[in-house]
Amino acid sequence: MRLAKYLAHSGVASRRGAEELIAAGRVTVRGTRVSDPALDVDEGSAVAVDGRSVSPEPREVHLLHKPAGVVSTARDTHGRQTVIELVPSVRRLYPVGRLDAGSTGLILLTNDGELADLLTHPRYGVEKVYRALVVPEPVPERALRRLREGVELDDGRTSPAHARQLRPGLLELTIREGRNRQVRRMCEAVGHRVVALERVAFGPLRLGSLPPGESRALSAAEVERLRQTAGWKNRLP
């Protein structure tokens, strides 16, 4: 198995994160620092990160209903509660993508770095559905049309989104990108400020009636549907 994939399967980081660890010189194989993420290794290769031995562990994927005020990181230097603390698991989990602290809703946590990369890489364009409460209301059709066509942000034009108004001031937006605070910035670009934002779907998964702060482990069938949604069989090696 390639070293970067081995680290991802060990729950150390995503595949891209593992490559960064290797490039930073933090990974050793049989006591020797290595720089090649494609190096062939196995459980007998004595792989270590920062001197700590690592090996593949059973993979888990959890769906969490993130409450407001909780940060979507593994650790927080300001002492705020993190999504990791809300999921009962002995594995080294990390979030798949992010929701900003003020946003709520569906977020995935896993120790499967390869799956995390599939779900977040722009190439695969996995759909995320958000509900945004905005002001002023209602949102006129011309603003919805701009969202559907793509709007110009400071980091480039967005891809077309599916946008509809469920009731005056409540938008449902489906996007395939994952830029920082993207939905909030898209709404601001068409003249509406988001006052509450919730992610209600990620690929084939729905938030449903899961209470805020609660989580559940995904079934093997749900994980397989996620892989299929991200084009697992057609991905590049």
CATH number of the domain at 17, please: 3.10.290.10
Question: Are residues 194 and 218 located together in one domain of the fold?
Answer: no
* Owning domain of residue 87: 61-120+210-234
Cβ(11)–Cβ(92) below 8 Å: yes
Segment 160-176 shows an average pLDDT of: 97
- Which residues in the chain belong to E strands, given as ranges? 27-29, 32-33, 47-49, 52-53, 61-66, 94-96, 104-110, 128-135, 152-153, 156-157, 162-167, 170-175, 193-202, 205-206, 215-217
Segment 123-151 shows an average pLDDT of: 96
Q: Is the pLDDT of residue 236 over 70?
A: no
Q: Which amino acid is at 163?
A: A
Question: Are residues 87 and 112 located together in one domain of the fold?
Answer: yes
Question: Are residues 106 and 218 located together in one domain of the fold?
Answer: yes
Question: Are residues 198 and 133 located together in one domain of the fold?
Answer: yes
Q: What domain count does the chain have?
A: 3
Q: What is the pLDDT of residue 58?
A: 84
Question: Are residues 45 and 106 located together in one domain of the fold?
Answer: no
Q: What is the pLDDT of residue 232?
A: 54
Segment 151-174 shows an average pLDDT of: 96
Q: What is the pLDDT of residue 75?
A: 84
Segment 165-187 shows an average pLDDT of: 96
Q: Is the pLDDT of residue 29 over 60?
A: yes
Segment 204-218 shows an average pLDDT of: 97
CATH number of the domain at 99, please: 3.30.70.580
Question: Are residues 77 and 135 located together in one domain of the fold?
Answer: no
Of 15, 35, 53, the one marking the end of a domain is 53
Q: Is the pLDDT of residue 115 over 50?
A: yes
Q: What is the pLDDT of residue 159?
A: 94
Question: Are residues 29 and 135 located together in one domain of the fold?
Answer: no
Helix axes 113-120, 220-229, angle to 10 degrees: 40
Q: Known catalytic residues?
A: 100
Question: Are residues 104 and 161 located together in one domain of the fold?
Answer: no
For all residues of the chain together, what is the average pLDDT?
Answer: 92
Question: Are residues 112 and 217 located together in one domain of the fold?
Answer: yes
Q: What is the pLDDT of residue 234?
A: 41
Of 13, 33, 53, the one marking the end of a domain is 53
Segment 123-143 shows an average pLDDT of: 95
Segment 188-209 shows an average pLDDT of: 97
Segment 167-190 shows an average pLDDT of: 96
53-84 per-position pLDDT tens digit: 998 778 899 999 999 999 998 888 888 999 99
The length of the chain, given as a count of residues:
237
CATH number of the domain at 187, please: 3.30.70.1560
Q: What is the pLDDT of residue 233?
A: 43
